């Protein structure tokens, strides 16, 4: 307990709830990082964590990222996250999601949840049976296309910074993960004329994307090491770490994954190798913008897309300030977000 309280104090967390229900087999956690700007909005993830400690560490990192993401996007939201420990392919059942919904309801609106890895729209519909503090499901559709659109616009900002032009025509882009976001991103990249290297643990998704986009399939364990112009992680976080940093063969790291850098020190290591890393919570904020606009009643997709397109300009401003202040882009992004959280 003291270990978790120390982590909460160090990172400025408001609340951490551990979940357990013997009848349904539910195990998980909900973390609320900040409600300074409004209710903490964040998706719920279902994942096969190797330990309960890993799950709690993940939910805390993700919740903190959501606070910064909402603040940097200047949305009236705080940051939170939920995780359910389990295999999303085998362990799902209506009773489990109903039970999780009751835990969300007990937080009295301090936490509003949505979809994340391993959670589909029908799962949210089950959660909604027990709480009104959920956004998504069949009523609004998927945020994934908007996340992908924002990442594509952010990649263009990075390309302009590194290559002098936002055009991605002819660029080799390695997309790690072709789930709902990664696949939608591939569509934008292919349409612009990029050459795609793609990987995914799900062979069905991989084969489908290869056929649709004329992409080259790469083994999931090898894609991060392939030579390319842009490496775009769109799956689990932590892929930029001590093992991978020395072997990256790209000039840009920019994708949809949350917490793509396992530790802040690795961004400096990338910088020393001449590799630009886009701050993840800046570039992947499109889905959150979509969810919040739907929550506010905005139904016009083009208006939402126009707001999401602002990610390109926001990232360009951060990269410019990074050069001027001789700081890493991640450091500048943190300053930007913390100013809006009232922590500076």
CB 309 within 8 A of CB 289: no
Q: 306, 146 in Cβ contact below 8 A?
A: no
Q: Which of 154, 106, 342 lies closest to 253 in space, CA to CA?
A: 154
8-44 b/e (C-beta count within 10 Å ≥ 16 → b):
beeeebbbbbebeeeeeebbbbbbbbbbbbbbbbbbb
Active-site position among 27, 81, 92, 171: 81
CA distance 150 to 285: 7
Residue 28's DSSP bridge partners are 19, 84
Element (H, E) at 4: helix 2-11
The question of whether 81 is a catalytic residue gets the answer yes
> 115 to each of 36, 283, 314, 332, how far by Cα in Å?
23, 18, 25, 29
| Three-class SS state of 168 | coil
Helices 144-163 and 301-308, axial angle in degrees (round to 10): 30
Which residues does the annotation mark as catalytic?
Answer: 81
């Amino acid at each position: 307990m003291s270990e978790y309280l120390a982590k909460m104090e160090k990172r400025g967390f408001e609340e951490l709830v551990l979940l357990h229900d013997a009848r349904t087999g539910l195990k998980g956690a909900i973390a609320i990082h900040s409600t300074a700007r409004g209710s903490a909005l964040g998706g719920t993830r279902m994942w096969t964590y190797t330990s309960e400690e890993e799950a709690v560490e993940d939910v805390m990192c993700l919740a903190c990222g959501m606070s910064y993401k909402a603040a940097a996007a200047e949305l009236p939201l705080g940051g939170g996250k939920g995780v359910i420990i389990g295999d999303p392919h085998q362990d799902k059942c209506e009773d489990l999601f109903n039970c999780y919904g009751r835990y969300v309801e007990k937080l009295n609106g301090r936490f509003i949840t949505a979809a994340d890895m391993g959670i589909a729209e029908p799962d949210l519909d089950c959660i909604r049976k027990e709480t009104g503090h959920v956004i998504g499901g069949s009523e609004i559709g998927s945020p994934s296309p908007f996340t992908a659109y924002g990442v594509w616009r952010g990649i263009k900002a990075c390309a302009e910074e590194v290559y002098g032009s936002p055009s991605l025509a002819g660029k080799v882009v390695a997309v790690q993960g072709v789930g709902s976001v990664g696949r939608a991103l591939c569509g934008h990249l292919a349409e612009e004329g990029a050459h795609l290297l793609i990987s995914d643990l799900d062979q069905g998704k991989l084969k489908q994307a290869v056929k649709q986009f004329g992409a080259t399939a790469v083994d999931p364990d090898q894609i991060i090491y392939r030579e390319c112009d842009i490496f775009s992680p769109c799956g689990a976080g932590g892929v930029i770490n001590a093992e991978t940093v020395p072997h990256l063969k790209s000039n840009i790291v920019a994708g949809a994954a949350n917490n793509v850098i396992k530790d802040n020190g690795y961004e400096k290591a990338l910088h020393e190798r001449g590799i630009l890393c886009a701050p993840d919570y800046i570039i992947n904020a499109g889905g959150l913008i979509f969810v919040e606009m739907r929550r506010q009643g905005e139904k016009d997709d083009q208006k939402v897309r126009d707001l999401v397109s602002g990610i390109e300009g926001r990232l360009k401003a951060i990269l410019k300030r990074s050069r001027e202040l001789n700081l890493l882009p991640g450091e500048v992004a943190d300053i930007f977000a913390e100013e809006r959280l009232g922590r500076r």
